[in-house]
């Protein structure tokens, strides 16, 4: 290279600089100033519950993991209403959080979109309020706890106008290996965290892995929140996830829950290398018959039915003290909302209504989810010997106790990846204290919410 | 169009001019005006590429610079943020740490591969058999054709508690060194770095081999006759002869280290804790997971500036004299 070349590249730089300022000047406005619709334009007022007589095609957007459930629901729905066809699109599950706002903001959005964060959908008036449909179809008869997660008012989720309706619910708790449970003398579910700890001590002494926690992708948050639900109480946990003003988890109860998880890990109740173990590895470990408890959720039930057929059970996490508050993370499999700019709102609402029908409830249960609906509806049937029976009865127990909570990882868009996962790894790695754990997560929470 | 040097007349317009210019060119004589017109014709030929460059390179870069001065969730109306996003890049401990990690990765993505590449290339040079040489080159280059994301997944399995790495350690009696490599706060970053080393060594070896091929074989012969051993030959002939190739290797791999994304994203996502976070992954997560487009853009701009600030002096250093 020569001097000449560097002179030439200097000239090129100047040229690029000039071009830069030209383009910059021409695109001066604040980004995004032309995209958000006004709120008055999105509220459907004249709603119809009529089944369309002309052919209608609904478009639907969801995560790949729910394809089986959605496809079955769509098949049953379109068989019932032949004038409607549904055209689904599925994205990999881990990108649906990122793509949801983009799907909602599209010029021609799908008619039915998976709603992960109600508050972010409401923020830019991208979702239609469903109150008129709720009244027309009588969804207000559903148990309040089933829909409160999908309501929002003034940007805060939890109450107010309805924005989405679920296909079914998830459920979390403790899977257990029946043979090993018998071996350590567990005849009935532990009544308190203390009893659970005693049982795990016996498991450790018997050379078993007491609790299959996997924390490479943040599975360590599960035992923590299962404890937190009972110690802090479902209402406070929900308020935190829904970004209620002033909500905090920097509390003595949360520190106690974190301390318990750290203590269990310290005495070796979790697998060795817990921070390097992922969900697949945890599945394999539980299936190997060398473990007792596995804090995880309903989505794994079909798999566990295959790997440990008839040999596993499921119980809710025991309350902090005997007779105390039961709790479990349980949110929608998918909650579908109708984008503000959707074309076929009435037909989309008909699909939402179908989601709590007897047929849809059976489909939800067949696919391993808890059904949405009222208590007087027919109970869906489950094959005997499936661990799903235990999961459904645990769900009923927790629902009756008012213990359904949303997942703490869903409190803000980035809190799972940017706080819960790394901070739980630090906690289980012995690199931070329970106090620092809740402080750091709370700090991140406030920073992301701009508080 | 008038000529500035005053020696040539302004070229007449039209087809005649074109014909004249062509004939003049053939004759090897070029007037300034004609030359200038040729220059414009050159720009015309470059136009499609320039448009692509402007739309897909310049415009996104400029948009990113613009976004970096706003608070924006990617959808709603942005609010001006001044320099706050840049201030946070240098004050948020996780963002600062991610930049430090990418500097540590330079050792694994750049220094190690170039050193290994030099050793392997000088040895391969000596392979007389054409077949064996070809096989060696192919094997060395193989990692380069596997996508980084795919190899990161394969390495994740090898690093797992019962994976190949730990099995190997047990097999040679080093049970004490077994660990969950990607879950270990001390070892995760070097373990990720080794994946980068594995990926980059092949490319460096191949580039350096090509460079060695250009060095006149008689120089080696002369040195041999003068009694220089292999090591002396390496330092006296190979190393100086490969100056520009080493420069290319260092440039490419340093950029790969500073802007690394796929390997880290697929193997650790920045964990355990924050021990393997790198700016590339942070840019992605800020923009697409957290919807903080402005903050993400500011980090991306800082990252680009950082890469330039390191690469430009390196370019100067390795310039052939």
B253 contacts B198 by C-beta, under 8 angstroms: no
Complete DSSP assignment for A244-295: -TT----SHHHHHHHHHHHHHHHTT-SPTTGGG--HHHHHHHHHTT-EEEEE
The answer to whether the Cβ–Cβ distance between B271 and A23 falls below 8 Å is no
- Closest approach of chain B CAs to the CA of A23, in angstroms? 8
Q: Tokens standing for B104? A: 């540590």
Q: Does B76 touch chain A (CB under 8 A)?
A: yes
The answer to whether the Cβ–Cβ distance between B160 and A448 falls below 8 Å is no
Longest dimension (CA), chain B: 86
What domains lie within chain B, and their CATH numbers?
A: 1-48 (no CATH), 85-317 (1.10.3720.10)
Model confidence over A345-400: pLDDT tens digits? 999 999 999 999 999 999 998 888 888 887 778 878 888 888 998 998 898 888 88
What is the pLDDT at residue B11?
41
Half-sphere exposure at residue B138, Cβ-oriented, CA atoms within 13 angstroms: 6
Average pLDDT, chain B: 84
What is the pLDDT at residue A16?
53
pLDDT exceeds 50 at position B5? no
Residues 286-305 of B with CB under 8 A from A: 286, 288-293
Query: Which residues is A313 bridged to in the sheet?
Result: A176
- Closest approach of chain A CAs to the CA of B252, in angstroms? 18
**Close Cβ partners of A24 (under 8 Å, ≥ 6 residues apart):** B62, B65, B66
Q: Does A18 touch chain B (CB under 8 A)?
A: no
Which of A16, A281, A431 has its CB closest to that of B273? A431
Model confidence over A297-356: pLDDT tens digits? 998 888 899 999 999 999 999 999 999 999 999 988 889 999 999 999 999 999 999 999
Pick the residue with more confidence: A398 or A143? A398
How big is chain A, counted in residues?
Answer: 451
Complete DSSP assignment for A191-249: SSHHHHHHHHHHHHHTT-EEE---TTTTTTHHHHHHHHHHHH-HHHHHHHHTT-TT---
With CA atoms as reference, report the closest residue to A114 among A74, A154, A52, A64.
A64
- Closest approach of chain B CAs to the CA of A429, in angstroms? 8
The answer to whether the Cβ–Cβ distance between A273 and B285 falls below 8 Å is no
Q: Does B270 touch chain A (CB under 8 A)?
A: yes
pLDDT exceeds 80 at position B32? no
- Closest approach of chain B CAs to the CA of A35, in angstroms? 7
Best mutation target, B289, B298, B305, to test chain A (most A CBs within 10 A): B289
The answer to whether the Cβ–Cβ distance between A414 and B66 falls below 8 Å is no
Complete DSSP assignment for A40-102: GGT---S---PPPSS-EEEEEEEEGGGHHHHHHHHHHHHHHSTTEEEEEEEE-HHHHHHHHHH
Which of A98, A123, A425 has its CB closest to that of B272? A425
CA–CA distance, A330 with A237 (Å, rounded to integer): 12
Domain residue limits, chain A? 45-169+332-380, 172-329+390-448
Fold of A172-329+390-448: D-Maltodextrin-Binding Protein; domain 2 (3.40.190)
The answer to whether the Cβ–Cβ distance between A123 and B73 falls below 8 Å is yes
* CB count in 10 Å sphere of residue A136: 15
Complete DSSP assignment for B4-58: SSSSSPPPPPSHHHHHHHHHHHHHT---HHHHHHHHHHHHHHHHHHHHHHIIIII
- pLDDT band for position B9 (50/70/90)? very low
The answer to whether the Cβ–Cβ distance between B72 and A32 falls below 8 Å is yes
Average pLDDT, chain A: 87
Query: Which residues is A339 bridged to in the sheet?
Result: A127
Which of B70, B160, B291 has its CB closest to that of A31? B70
Rg of chain A on CA atoms, in Å: 25
Chain A hits for B159, CB-CB cut-off 8 Å, are: 276
Q: Does A423 touch chain B (CB under 8 A)?
A: yes
Which of A23, A95, A105 has its CB closest to that of B58? A23
What is the pLDDT at residue A43?
63
Model confidence over A186-237: pLDDT tens digits? 999 999 999 999 999 999 999 999 999 999 888 999 999 999 999 999 989 9
Burial (0-12, 13-18, 19+ Cβ within 10 Å), B263:
buried
CA–CA distance, B277 with A310 (Å, rounded to integer): 43
With CA atoms as reference, report the closest residue to B205 among B159, B141, B153.
B141
Model confidence over A157-190: pLDDT tens digits? 888 899 999 998 999 999 999 999 999 999 999 9
pLDDT exceeds 80 at position A258? yes
CA–CA distance, B198 with B196 (Å, rounded to integer): 5
- Closest approach of chain A CAs to the CA of B63, in angstroms? 8
Q: What is the per-residue burial (b if ≥16 Cβ within 10 Å, else e) of A350-363?
A: bbbbbbbbebbbbb
Q: Does A273 touch chain B (CB under 8 A)?
A: yes
The answer to whether the Cβ–Cβ distance between B183 and A431 falls below 8 Å is no
What are the φ/ψ torsions at residue A138 (nearest 5 degrees)? 75, 35
* CA angle (A229 as vertex; A365, A129 as ends), nearest 5: 60
What is the pLDDT at residue B59?
94
Q: In what order do the strands lie in the sheet containing A151-153? A: A156-157, A151-153, A161-162
Model confidence over B158-179: pLDDT tens digits? 998 888 999 999 999 888 888 8
Average pLDDT over residues A138-142: 88
Q: Does A236 touch chain B (CB under 8 A)?
A: no
pLDDT exceeds 90 at position A65? no
Reduced to 3 states (helix: H, G, I; strand: E, B; else coil), residue B151 is: helix
Chain B hits for A281, CB-CB cut-off 8 Å, are: 160-161
Which of A23, A120, A276 has its CB closest to that of B183? A276
CA–CA distance, B156 with A87 (Å, rounded to integer): 37
**Close Cβ partners of B251 (under 8 Å, ≥ 6 residues apart):** B311, B314, B315, B318
Query: Which residues is A175 bridged to in the sheet?
Result: A294, A314
Domain spanning A45-169+332-380: which CATH class is it, in words? alpha beta
First to last CA, chain A: 54
First to last CA, chain B: 41
Model confidence over A3-19: pLDDT tens digits? 444 555 555 555 555 55
- Closest approach of chain A CAs to the CA of B77, in angstroms? 5
With CA atoms as reference, report the closest residue to A377 among A146, A173, A194, A215.
A146
pLDDT exceeds 60 at position A117? yes
């Amino acid at each position: 290279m020569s001097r000449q070349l560097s002179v030439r590249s200097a000239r090129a730089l100047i040229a690029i600089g000039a071009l830069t300022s030209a383009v910059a000047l021409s695109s001066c406005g604040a980004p995004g100033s032309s995209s958000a619709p006004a709120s008055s334009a999105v509220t459907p007022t004249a709603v119809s519950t009529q089944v369309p007589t002309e052919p209608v095609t609904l478009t639907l957007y969801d995560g790949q993991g729910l394809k089986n459930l959605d496809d079955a629901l769509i098949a049953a729905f379109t068989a019932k209403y032949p004038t409607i066809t549904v055209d689904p699109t599925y994205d990999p599950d881990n990108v649906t959080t990122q793509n949801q706002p983009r799907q909602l903001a599209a010029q021609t959005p799908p008619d039915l979109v998976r709603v992960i964060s109600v508050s972010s959908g409401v923020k830019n008036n991208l979702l239609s309020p469903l109150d008129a449909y709720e009244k027309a179809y009588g969804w207000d008869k559903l148990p309040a706890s089933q829909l409160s997660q999908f309501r929002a008012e003034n940007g805060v989720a939890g109450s107010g106008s309805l924005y989405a309706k679920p296909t079914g619910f998830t459920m979390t708790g403790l899977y257990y290996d029946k043979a090993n449970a018998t071996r350590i003398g567990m005849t009935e579910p532990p009544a308190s965290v203390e009893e659970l700890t005693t049982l795990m001590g016996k498991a450790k002494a018997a050379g078993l892995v007491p609790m299959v926690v996997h924390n490479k992708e943040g599975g360590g948050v599960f035992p923590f929140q299962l404890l937190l639900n009972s110690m802090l109480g479902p209402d406070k946990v929900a308020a935190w996830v829904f970004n209620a003003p002033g909500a905090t988890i920097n509390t003595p109860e949360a520190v106690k829950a974190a301390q318990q998880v750290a203590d269990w890990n310290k005495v070796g109740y979790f697998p060795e290398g817990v921070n390097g173990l992922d969900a697949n590895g945890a599945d394999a470990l539980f299936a190997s018959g060398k473990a007792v408890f596995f804090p995880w959720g309903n989505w794994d039930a079909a798999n566990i039915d295959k790997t440990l057929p008839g040999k596993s059970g499921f119980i809710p996490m025991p309350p902090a003290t005997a007779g105390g508050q039961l709790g479990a993370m349980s949110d929608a499999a998918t909650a579908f909302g109708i984008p503000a700019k959707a074309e076929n709102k009435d037909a989309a609402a008909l699909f939402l209504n179908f989601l709590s029908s007897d047929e849809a409830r059976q489909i939800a249960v067949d696919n391993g989810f808890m059904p949405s609906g009222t208590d007087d509806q027919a109970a869906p049937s489950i094959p005997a010997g499936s661990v799903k029976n235990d999961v459904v009865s645990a769900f009923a127990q927790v629902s009756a106790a008012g213990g359904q909570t949303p997942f703490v990882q869903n409190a803000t868009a980035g809190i799972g990846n940017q706080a819960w996962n790394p901070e739980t790894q630090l906690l289980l790695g012995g690199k931070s204290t329970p106090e620092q754990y809740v402080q750091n997560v709370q700090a991140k929470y406030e920073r992301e919410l701009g508080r | 169009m008038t000529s500035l040097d005053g020696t040539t007349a302004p070229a007449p317009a039209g087809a005649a001019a074109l014909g004249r210019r062509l004939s003049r060119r053939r004759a090897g004589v070029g007037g300034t005006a004609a030359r200038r017109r040729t220059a414009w014709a050159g720009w015309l030929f470059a136009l499609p590429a320039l448009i692509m460059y402007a739309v897909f390179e310049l415009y996104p870069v400029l948009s990113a610079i613009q976004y970096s001065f706003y608070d924006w969730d990617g959808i709603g109306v942005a609010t001006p943020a001044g320099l706050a996003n840049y201030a946070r890049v240098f004050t948020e401990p996780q963002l600062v740490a991610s930049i430090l990690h990418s500097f540590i990765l330079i050792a694994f993505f750049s220094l190690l591969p170039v050193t290994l590449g030099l050793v392997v290339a000088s040895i391969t040079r000596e392979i007389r058999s054409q077949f064996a040489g070809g096989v060696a080159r192919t094997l060395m280059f193989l990692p380069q054709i596997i996508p980084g994301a795919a190899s990161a997944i394969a390495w994740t399995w090898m690093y797992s508690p019962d994976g190949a790495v730990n099995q190997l350690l047990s097999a040679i009696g080093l049970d004490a060194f077994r660990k969950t490599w990607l879950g270990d706060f001390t070892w995760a970053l070097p373990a990720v770095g080794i994946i980068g080393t594995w990926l980059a060594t092949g490319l460096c070896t191949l580039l350096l081999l090509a460079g060695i091929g250009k060095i006149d074989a008689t120089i080696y012969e002369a040195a041999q006759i003068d009694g220089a051993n292999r090591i002396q030959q390496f330092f006296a002939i190979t190393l100086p002869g490969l100056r520009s190739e080493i420069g290319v290797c260092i440039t490419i791999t340093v950029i790969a280290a500073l802007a690394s994304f796929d390997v880290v994203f697929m193997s650790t996502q920045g964990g355990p804790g924050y021990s393997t976070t790198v700016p590339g992954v942070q840019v992605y997560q800020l923009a697409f997971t957290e919807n903080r487009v402005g903050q993400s853009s500011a980090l991306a701009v800082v990252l680009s500036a950082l890469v330039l600030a390191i690469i430009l002096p390196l370019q100067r250093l390795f310039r052939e004299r």
